[in-house]
Structure 1
Amino acid sequence: MFKSKKLKAFLITLSLSLVSAKSVHAASYTVTYGDSLYQIGKLFNTSANIIMQNNGLSSSNIYPGQVLNISAKTYTVQAGDSLYLIAQKYGVSLSSLRQANNKWDNLIYPGQSLNIPGTASSTATQPSKPTVSKSVIPYTASDVDLLARLITAEAQGAPYTAKVAVGAVVINRVQDSRFPKSINDVIYQKDGGYYQFSPVLNGWINKPATQDSIKAAYEALNGADPTNGALYYFDDSTTNSWLWSKTVALRVDNMVFSYYN
């Protein structure tokens, strides 16, 4: 009788320990702007061909909102968890955990299922550890929020590339000796009595950021720069000859990004 109770208690403990960490299986990943099968495969330690096979795809074309079956380990959120702690638990970067779940805020809840990146191989006893993305400049949570709000104000409705590019311009200015040295100071800078960014003047900077803009802010902070170093952007309807005198780095729809010269 004693042995039976011990065995029962052991089995209950074992089952509870398995609740939060499930083995590799078909998880769901929702495609977002800028994704490719190659990038998704790299994130989950698999290949584009395998993803195509698992989803019955005849080509590598994917679209935002499409749900793909991905072989990945999942984790069920427990009380007291945070994305940072979960990333530490599995030895992955916080950035890759966010990407694997399209999760660009910090709100999680007990019972929520999260994909763990870099764990597609069923023979691995430990999750593989991808290269940790390092930010190109120091930043705080308030910096991310401010940058994302600027991106929302300036590029809402524009392609995702334009959102990342707006973020990159701010980061490039922080890194350039001719501009202030923080995200806050760059965005709120006045030159000749005029704000550098119109959303600060018209109040749009105070509107909440969209999820796409938050993601774009993180990408820019991690070094993504579609402009390759631009320091300005403007609408192509402007008649400002000084702006048009700059070398154009990138055009996305009606947005023009340019260098300092």
Structure 2
Amino acid sequence: MLKSKKARVFLATVSLSLTLVQTAYAGTYKVVAGDSLYKIGNLFNTTASTIMKYNNLKDTYIYPGQVLYVPSDTYTVKAGDSLYLIAKKYGISLYSLRKANNKWDDYIYPGQVLNIPGSTPTTGSSYVSDNGNSVYQEPSRGSVYRGVITYSLSDLDLLARLITAEADGEPYEAKVGVGAVVINRVKDYRFPNTISDVIYEKTDGYYQFTPVENGWINKPASEEAKKAAYDALHGSDPTHGALFYFDDSATNSWLWSQPIAARIGRMVFTYLK
């Protein structure tokens, strides 16, 4: 959990080893029974070999529940959207939109990031070629990627580890919310301006995130946490701009005194007065 000058709230976190190639992927896809790299490639207008390269796969074996990075445009859901309207906007079938996102009900929420099948990721002029792969070059950090903020693979790794610890067992939306809080802090002038500096920040001698303090930040992240970190980095924020979060069993009066932005599962997300 997050701590402040007035509060220390303890939680738990875990570390991750991402084995990704330096490629400008734009979406993630969760494998379901009956999938093959060939079928997924057809859905996203690419090839099995390209997907293997994006995910550093040594063979074509995939399994249900596995999260793959795919070349695809993404769309961030806005108020008033529906799956039908999004499919119509991009000139694709509703079925293919559902399939690309494993989304078989009609519930979507503002800030949710959806894959757009049959497209290729668009990149701005800030992207350059690096050994045949499109990545953004930032002198101080090397190859970085464009989301709502720029980030490196190590940033994605660190954020996914934090999400695993802080929201393991919580709904997927809560996991994305944890990532979004970190990103909201990066963008807020009152906090450090990088993912690493936010997560490792100390206030009055105490770490802001307990998993850093107890070492759980060095344990592996779940596949779902990796996807949640990616979605948060690319604009999904079910907390609507929150800067803090804590478990609803917390008894600290200062935490509960802050304006509540969202409650997801057992997690409470708040603004800062």
Q: TM-score range with shorter-chain normalisation?
A: 0.5 to 0.7
C-alpha deviation, 1:137, in angstroms: 1.1
Return 5+ residue gaps in structure 2 as ranges.
Answer: 1-27, 63-67, 74-90, 94-117, 124-144
Equivalent residue number for residue 82 of structure 1:
53
C-alpha deviation, 1:75, in angstroms: 1.4
**Contact 2:71–2:120 at 8 Å: present in 1 too?**
no
C-alpha deviation, 1:107, in angstroms: 2.3
Residues 1:150 and 2:162 aligned together: yes
C-alpha deviation, 1:76, in angstroms: 3.0
Percentage of pairs with the same residue: 56
In the alignment, the residues of structure 2 paired with residue 190 and residue 67 of structure 1 have an alpha-carbon distance, to the nearest angstrom, of 48
C-alpha deviation, 1:116, in angstroms: 6.5
C-alpha deviation, 1:253, in angstroms: 1.5
C-alpha deviation, 1:109, in angstroms: 2.5
**Structure of greater Rg:** 1
Residues 1:214 and 2:229 aligned together: no
Which aligned pairs between 1:89-238 and structure 2 lie closer than 5 A? Answer: 106-111=55-60, 117=72, 128-129=119-120, 131=122, 134-238=146-250
- Residues 108 and 239 from structure 1, CA distance in 2 versus in 1: closer, same or farther, beyond 3 angstroms? same
Return 5+ residue gaps in structure 1 as ranges.
Answer: 1-29, 33-63, 84-105, 122-126
Aligned length: 173
- Residues 65 and 155 from structure 1, CA distance in 2 versus in 1: closer, same or farther, beyond 3 angstroms? farther
In the alignment, the residues of structure 1 paired with residue 61 and residue 181 of structure 2 have an alpha-carbon distance, to the nearest angstrom, of 36
Question: Aligned partner of 1:142: which letter?
Answer: S
In the alignment, the residues of structure 2 paired with residue 247 and residue 192 of structure 1 have an alpha-carbon distance, to the nearest angstrom, of 23
Which of 229, 251, 261 is equivalent to 1:249?
Answer: 261
Which one scores higher on RCO, CA 8 angstroms, separation ≥ 6? 2
**Contact 1:31–1:66 at 8 Å: present in 2 too?**
no
Q: Structure 1-normalised TM-score?
A: 0.58
Question: Aligned partner of 2:57: which letter?
Answer: I
In the alignment, the residues of structure 2 paired with residue 165 and residue 207 of structure 1 have an alpha-carbon distance, to the nearest angstrom, of 20
**Contact 2:200–2:208 at 8 Å: present in 1 too?**
yes
Instruction: Provide the alpha-carbon RMSD of the alignment.
Output: 3.3
- Residues 129 and 65 from structure 1, CA distance in 2 versus in 1: closer, same or farther, beyond 3 angstroms? closer
C-alpha deviation, 1:160, in angstroms: 0.3
C-alpha deviation, 1:139, in angstroms: 0.9
